[in-house]
Amino acid sequence: MTTLSDKPLLEHTVLSTAAGRLYRRQNVFTAIATGVVLAALVWWITNSIFSGGAWADDMTTVCMLTAWVVGFNLGIGTFNAVIYWMLGIDQTHEDELYAAGVGQGRKRYLKYCTDHKVVGTQYLVLVFVLFFVGGTLAMMIRTQLLSPHSSFLSPQTYNSIVTIHGMCMIIATIIMVSGPFANFIMPIMIGAKDMAFPRLNAMSIWVVISAVPCLVWTFFLDGGVNAGWTTYAPLSVQDGTAMDAFAITIIVFVVSVTVAGINTIVTVATMRAEGMTFGRLPVFVWGSVIGGALGLYAMPAFLISMCSMIADRATGTSFYVASGGGVGWLWENTFWIMGHPEVYVILIPPVAAMIEVIATFARKPVFAYKVIIGAFAGIAGLSIMVWAHHMFTTGWAPDLAGPFMLTTELISIPTGIIFLCIIGTLWRGSIWTRLPMYFVYLFLWNFIIGGVTGIYLSDVPADNYFHGNMFVTAHFHYTLLGGAMIAGAAGLCYWFPKVSGRMLDERIGKVAFWIIAVAFQVTYMAQFIAGAKGMPRRVANYDPMYHVENFVSSLGAYALMVGWMVLLYALVVSWISGEHAPANPWHSKTLEWHVPTPVPLENFLVDPVVTGDPYGYGEQGPAAAHVTFEYDGDRGGHP
């Protein structure tokens, strides 16, 4: 995976500063050790301070988990640069090279590595871990729902699994494209040598890694979080200390997404290669920036809802406690002010990635480039004004039903543009049906169904029937799993050769594709039917009248998991022993395909100069050759 470790020039790294020496000793193991030690220490201290107090358990849990996160990040090196900056000690060139992973081989994947490609790969692995955990939990949910009166899981276990399945998948889908590909691919696409803030980039991954154990740990605390991933207050105020761990997870995740969003935006704003004007940016770059900006808007709402939740639980405030003047509507508002933009934080980057796939495999320029970017911006702008459609049935403001119906239905106009762009790009194209293209067609099918079922939910009178019902569950799985995740899979298969340096085994990949495609329809069509008939969601047992639908849905879900496992198998086997990938297997025009595979540190052997946009398929002259590489005479690199 690395070609750099054997470059002679880079071997003689010098131990130079205190900061640099510390970096050399830190890795994921020192991080875990520091985190555990600090957490144990703080647990002991807080336990003796708060012991017997009113909210001792909650306070102790909050302090201990904060200590774990801080300790883990101390141990990995997140704070090194901050501390040494404060002391006025700047890192030397050698330190920075070391931090970027020079001469470390594969060990750098276990370290606080500032190379954006390492960070991207770390994100990819984390996403797969989260999907695997979330998927396993989904299998347990579907096993429970095989029969109406199943007692496979206790109601409490069932509720906690529903919660963590939801949050695990939400975290995974938020970072599934903006993590791996906006880090690995996007800087190369704009001709940058790295992200604008490489250390913050490493921070964004390690911070979220430190949050994952807190999320998993909720299972082992006081019977888990039983309030669903939306953790509606005041139900969540009733929960045990697991809810504190859940809130800490989210707060830490918020830090990661905020840092990553800022980094993405600044990178695109300041790090573009010569000639890479905004009008020439690939669609995926726009998607990453708009997704990042939207995340930056949404995450403070997540932060304030979780901070006030902790305040209620651990200090006794009454934001959500009715007898103290609090109200669940406050939670529902701040939560969905985060929650609806967040849906598009999930959706926009994968769709933008998929549009790159379509241009490459239809051998055509992106259709209506400016319109699709305008549509992304329009979606982002409207999405901050639609949150209350999640609250049509809460009764919080009946007079706002009309305005929120309007904004919600308006957002279908820019979303419809996505279809225009895809169909327009496919129109009269030379369709090259490689594996990524399969997922594009599956996306079209799934997302049109997800979109159409959304219009019933956007309509207040119809939503009064469908809200809180399996129909909603099926709808958002069609948009997020069938839409965003399938689009993400298209991007993954497309960029796999660049990321791994190997070609993906498309034979196994296509087997996986067909299982996923069919099983997905079976799983969620059955849920649409159950929902239309009136089955509420998030129930551990249900009326026998919904038995057939649930049985079929569970079988479909098992097959769906098998499909994803087959795809994972194809990915792992190809990564280990696949055929070595050429630099540009798809003959694509975006910049990331014009650097060597594996991609060297700093990406470009010579600086690119961009002269056109990367979609000049079928065009002649300068439009077709949209980039030249500036061979600097001093370096004597011209062949």
Partner 1 sequence: MTTTATDVHDGAEHHGHFTPEQKDRKERMAVWLLIGGDAVFLALELFTWFYLRALNVSDGWRYSLATSSNQYPHCPGDSCSPINFTGEIPKIGSSWTLIVTVLALAAGAAVWWAEAIARKRVGRSMLVGALLLTTVLALAAVVAQFVQFQHLPVVEVINNATGSPIKMHLGTIMGTYASTALFYMGANIAHFLIVLLVALGLTLRASRGKYDASFYEIRLGRLFFVWVGLSTLVLSLVSILFA
Partner 2 sequence: MSSEHPDLSADATVASPPLKPDAKENKKNVTVIAALWLVLTAIGIALSIWLTSALLPSSMSTEMGGVRSTVLVFSLAAAPVVAFVLATSIYSLLAWRKAPGSADVPPPDAPPLRGNAAATGIWLLTSSVLVVFLLVWGLSEWSAQQVVQPNDLVVKVTGQQWIWNFTYPDAKVDSHALVVPLGRQVQFNVTSLDVTHGFWPVQLGQQVDANPGLVTTIRVTPTHLGHFVVRCSQLCGLYHAYMYAQGDVVTAKAFEQFLEHHGASAATSAKVALLAARQGGQ
- Interaction residues for partner 1, span 128-157 (CB under 8 A): none
Our finding on whether 398 is near partner 1 (CB under 8 A) is: no
Phi, psi of 608 (to 5 degrees): -80, 150
Nearer to partner 1, 137 or 296 (CB): 296
Q: Name residues contacting partner 1, limited to 599-628 (CB under 8 A).
A: 600-602, 604-606
Binding range to partner 1, per CB under 8 A, among 146-154, 178-186, 485-493, 597-605: 597-605
Our finding on whether 204 is near partner 1 (CB under 8 A) is: no
Rounded Cα distance between 580 and 585, Å, is 10
Our finding on whether 397 is near partner 1 (CB under 8 A) is: no
DSSP state of 506: H
Our finding on whether 573 is near partner 1 (CB under 8 A) is: no
Nearer to partner 1, 97 or 526 (CB): 97
Tell me which residue has tokens 């695990």.
168
Alpha helices by DSSP H, listed for 226-327, are 235-238, 242-270, 283-310
Single residue of 179, 198, 282, 365 touching partner 1 by CB under 8 A = 198
Our finding on whether 526 is near partner 1 (CB under 8 A) is: no
Between helix 198-217 and helix 56-76 the angle, nearest 10°, is 140
Nearer to partner 2, 456 or 476 (CB): 456
Rounded Cα distance between 245 and 254, Å, is 14
Cβ of 426: how many Cβ atoms within 10 Å?
Answer: 18
Q: Is the CB of residue 291 less than 8 Å from the CB of residue 344?
A: yes
For residue 334, which amino acid is it? T
How many residues touch partner 1 under the rule CB under 8 A: the total is 77
C-alpha to C-alpha distances, 639 to 134, 605, 631, 635, nearest whole angstrom: 50, 12, 9, 11
Phi, psi of 627 (to 5 degrees): -145, 140
Binding range to partner 1, per CB under 8 A, among 118-126, 321-329, 402-410, 581-589: 321-329
DSSP state of 607: E
Nearer to partner 1, 91 or 554 (CB): 91
**Centroid of chain to Cα 24:** 30
Our finding on whether 79 is near partner 1 (CB under 8 A) is: no
Rounded Cα distance between 405 and 416, Å, is 17
Question: Which does residue 150 touch among partner 2, partner 1, none (CB within 5 to 8 A, set by kind)?
Answer: none
Least distance between partner 1 and beta carbon 401 (Å): 18
Binding mask 39-58 for partner 1 (x = CB under 8 A): -------------xxxxxx-
Least distance between partner 1 and beta carbon 116 (Å): 10
Question: Which does residue 36 touch among partner 2, partner 1, none (CB within 5 to 8 A, set by kind)?
Answer: none
Say if strands 607-610 and 627-630 run parallel, antiparallel, or are unpaired: antiparallel
Least distance between partner 2 and beta carbon 91 (Å): 31
Question: Which does residue 476 touch among partner 2, partner 1, none (CB within 5 to 8 A, set by kind)?
Answer: none
Single residue of 14, 15, 269, 452 touching partner 1 by CB under 8 A = 269
Our finding on whether 576 is near partner 1 (CB under 8 A) is: no
Q: Is the CB of residue 590 less than 8 Å from the CB of residue 282?
A: yes
Binding range to partner 1, per CB under 8 A, among 38-46, 61-69, 259-267, 454-462: 259-267
Rounded Cα distance between 67 and 73, Å, is 10
Least distance between partner 1 and beta carbon 296 (Å): 5
